[in-house]
Structure 1
Amino acid sequence: MAEPADYPPFQLGKPRFEQTSFYGRFRHFLDIIDPRTLFVSESRLKEAVQLLEDYKHGTLPPGVTNKELWGAQKIKQAIIHPDTNETIFMPFRMSGYIPFGTPIWLNQSHNACVNYANRNASKPSPTSKFIQGYLGAVISAVSIAVGLNVLIQRANKFTPATRLLIQRFVPFPAVASANICNVVLMRHTELEEGIDVLDNNGNIVGSSRVAAKHALLETALTRVVLPMPILVLPPIIMSVLEKTSLLRSRPRMILPVQSLVCLAAFGLALPLAISLFPQMSEIETSQLEPEIAMATSSKTVVYNKGL
């Protein structure tokens, strides 16, 4: 029986979907954030890793399909960090971002832990720096959000109608700014020490601070885009749904329906945002430090952007 077209010939370490297009990256990251991977057992994870090892060494059991191999790699990529090869704590995986990051009182703390757990980890980072970054990220994030709201409330030059209009737009700059602070503070050691860059054969060429800046910039941009669908779509959708006879006759259903709409928007926003850039990003060696450019004949190198 022929395999589905969705499962091309397996390539170890390569994405199942084309990464040069936004749609390909979108489908790839839908796999990465699939919440079903949160419930993969330890034994199933070991089976998936072993299957990939068997493929690598040419000792696959007979009858193993491309679908099974891609499924095994999906499990590994969702659970195991690509730099450390260690299992990421379940709530801090990208697949845990939506179910564990939705409660507002947990959001920025959870963001900090997700940013740290899914950083480029090619260089060791002491626990003390994580704690410093965590405290700085959460304090700055909450301060920005609260500060902007207080500023609007105290601005006497706005009419009540104008103040109400501005308040509707405050959540976006507040959340976006807080997210940027969170990423930068949780991953600032990358800027100090650099991150590994690899040639076309996967060999480490050197440690680059320039690549680290690109990695953090790309990740920060995804965190700016992330709140957009969450803050824009639910009000539009609810304004339509609230006019339906179902919600008019059952006003108690408005809150649970709104919660479901917000959760759906949150679920859509994450893969859309992180699909802006490939996880393994490419950069020209001419843009990097001279010692790295001299250490390889490759015109471009790649680095793990983190998620």
Structure 2
Amino acid sequence: MDPNLFYWKSQGQTFISRLQIWVNLLDPTSLLSSDAEIQSAHALLESGENQHEKDGQALTLSLSSVHADSGAALPLVFRPPALLPISAPLVVASFLPHSNVKPALFWQFLLQSYSAGFNYANRNSSSEQGKKMSLKQLLLIAGTVSYATCAGALPQIFINRLGVRSAPIQTFFRSIVPIPLSAALAFFNVFTVRSEESETGIQVFDSSGNPLGFSKAAGEKAVRETALSRAALFGTTAAVPNLMVLLLQRTRPFQRNSLLVAPLRHISVAFVLGLMIPVSFSLFPQLGTIRKENVEQELRAAADNGQLYYHRGL
């Protein structure tokens, strides 16, 4: 078992502890570290050496930048600390009340493409070590991005195609519909991009960290948990700013000065997204558990304490 997973096993089994860890790990300054520094930090953890402050820095760098299955440094733009700086402008732009369909499709395409790349880079890749991306996986990602792009632009498509001029109906399509739609598309993006984990299974471990084999049941559970956490992230990011703006638009200051609405919406979207990223990452353990009766028959005998462990991915 990778040292990153051993750390999550000992320190990340409650929501509060995971939240505290992720708040620390999402520091964007870690993006300035080179791949050599990241590998050195990971090697330090593997060696088990304790160098006090340096060891703490190495732990942070390893947890935030190293894939726990391959042991390799994650691509810079798909590391967890890069999620907020890169996705915030894309999310804000995708929630804008566009005047026609093309800008809505453009920003949805960028957002869904980045989400698919992030989901794929941070998947559980234990069954794929030494393999290149298959044509099937490439087509699946392309299809996911295409479908989610069109679906994400549906509110604007309806407004334009139906020639909606009524303010209440426009408000419904632009402020209410995006809430469940954003959550559903985030769930769909994770579920389809990482569907191979459910088909081939992911590696499971005993309580000592020894690999026991591959489990499709654990793969399904890992994908489902991650999809739910991502739905919570984007659903909440859509809900809070939109509902807040709807309420504030009824107050006298905002009725007198409608120009306040746009900057308030942009700032609140970025703010809620920033708050929700560590919360969503913490909803489920990075090192998940599955009861032995829920895994394949050949793995049950190896569960020494009634459960097995698996890397959930992110």
TM-score range, shorter chain: 0.7 to 0.9
C-alpha deviation, 1:86, in angstroms? 1.0
Structure 1 stretches of 4+ moved >6 Å = 152-156, 241-245
Q: Is the 8 A contact 1:172 1:228 kept in 2?
A: yes
User: Deviation of residue 117 (structure 1)?
Assistant: 0.3
Q: Which moved more, 1:23-32 or 1:74-83?
A: 23-32
Aligned to 1:5: none
CA drift of 1:236 comes to 5.5
Query: 2 CA distance for matches of 1:221 and 1:20?
Result: 18
The answer as to whether partners of 2:8 and 2:287 remain within 8 angstroms in 1 is: no
Letter aligned with residue 67 of structure 2 = H
Corresponding position of 1:228: 235
SS in 2 for 1:13: helix
Q: What is the DSSP-based 3-state SS (H/G/I as helix, E as strand, rest coil) of the residue aligned with 2:153?
A: helix
Normalising by the residue count of structure 2, what TM-score does the alignment of the two structures yield? 0.79
Which residues of 2 match residues 1-307 of structure 1 at below 5 A?
A: 13-15=6-8, 18-54=11-47, 56=48, 58=49, 60=50, 64-65=51-52, 67-102=53-88, 103=90, 104=94, 105=107, 106-124=110-128, 126-127=132-133, 128-147=135-154, 149-150=156-157, 160=166, 163-167=169-173, 168-235=175-242, 251=259, 255-256=262-263, 258-307=265-314
- The answer to whether the Cα contact below 8 Å between 1:17 and 1:24 also exists between their aligned partners in 2 is no
Q: How many residues align?
A: 288
Q: For the Cα contact (< 8 Å) 1:198–1:301, is it kept in 2?
A: yes
Structure 2 gaps of 5+ residues are 95-106
Counterpart residue type for residue 188 of structure 1 = S
The answer to whether the 8 A contact 2:38-2:62 is kept is yes
Using CA pairs under 8 Å that are at least 6 residues apart, name the structure with larger relative contact order, 1 or 2. Answer: 2
Between stretches 175-184 and 196-205, larger displacement belongs to: 175-184
CA distance in 2 between partners of 1:20 and 1:115 (Å): 22
Kept in 2: contact 1:242–1:254 (CA 8 A): no
Q: Which has the higher helix share?
A: 2
Deviation at 1:219, TM superposition (A): 0.9
Tell me, yes or no, if the aligned pair for 2:140 and 2:193 is still in contact at 8 Å: yes
Provide the C-alpha distance between the structure 2 equivalents of 1:130 and 1:234, rounded to a whole number of angstroms. 35
Question: Within 2, Cα distance between the matches of 1:126 and 1:69?
Answer: 33
Rate the CA distance shift 1:255–1:155 in 2: closer, same or farther, 3 A: closer
* Paired residue secondary structure (1:302): strand
- Structure 1 length-normalised TM: 0.81
